[in-house]
Amino acid sequence: MYKEEFPNIFILFRFLDDISQANIERRKKSLAKSYRPNPVRRSLRWTKNTLNTVRDSVTEALGTALAQGKALNPALNAMSYQHKYVTKVQSEAMGMWNGSFDPILERHIGLRVVMEVTSPSGVVVEHVGVFKEYSQQFLEVMDINYMDNGKLRVCDMVVPRAHAQIRHSAEPVKDGTTIVSLLSDIVSR
């Protein structure tokens, strides 16, 4: 898929019963790494997010300094065409590095979550699965039980953030209940 086609995507599905045994094994390994990641994996992710945040801050500071320099020295305005090109290439490259750190979503990675997907007609449907990853444009949730033409199938979904959001955790609390059931108990009182 090309970047220009992203706005046309509503949901990407990967149904387990449609993939080869080799891909099922690769998916199992990916799911095992994603679901409740170990401390080493979490610290590597924290380090990556910290470096991305520092990089974004430095890039913003350099942009501000360059703008200040152009205001003080009109000769730098002659380089504006090159600066626009460099800025465009830099932003595309940074977007590929997933510099979209979101502390709220970050807390849910590796946990079972409730993802709300809003259809083009405005209907909201909830799906429960393991939250694997996010980017500026997409959310990836694995191991979802999905009703497809009257048949229950297990799938993974990639959904544009424009159509979906992670609502809350669906992980069990102390006694085996979930956050969803606790909230519904509170609301019903």
Predicted confidence (pLDDT) per residue in 12-39, tens digit: 888 988 889 999 898 888 888 877 778 8
162: nearest Cα among 3, 1, 9, 2? 9
Q: Would you list the DSSP string of 42-60?
A: HHHHHHHHHHHHHHHHHHH
Instruction: Give the pLDDT of residue 92.
Output: 58
User: Taking Cα atoms as reference points, which of 145, 188, 182 lies closest to residue 13?
Assistant: 145
Phi, psi of 12 (to 5 degrees): -105, 125
Domain limits of the chain? 3-35+109-188, 39-96
Q: Chain-wide mean pLDDT for the chain?
A: 78
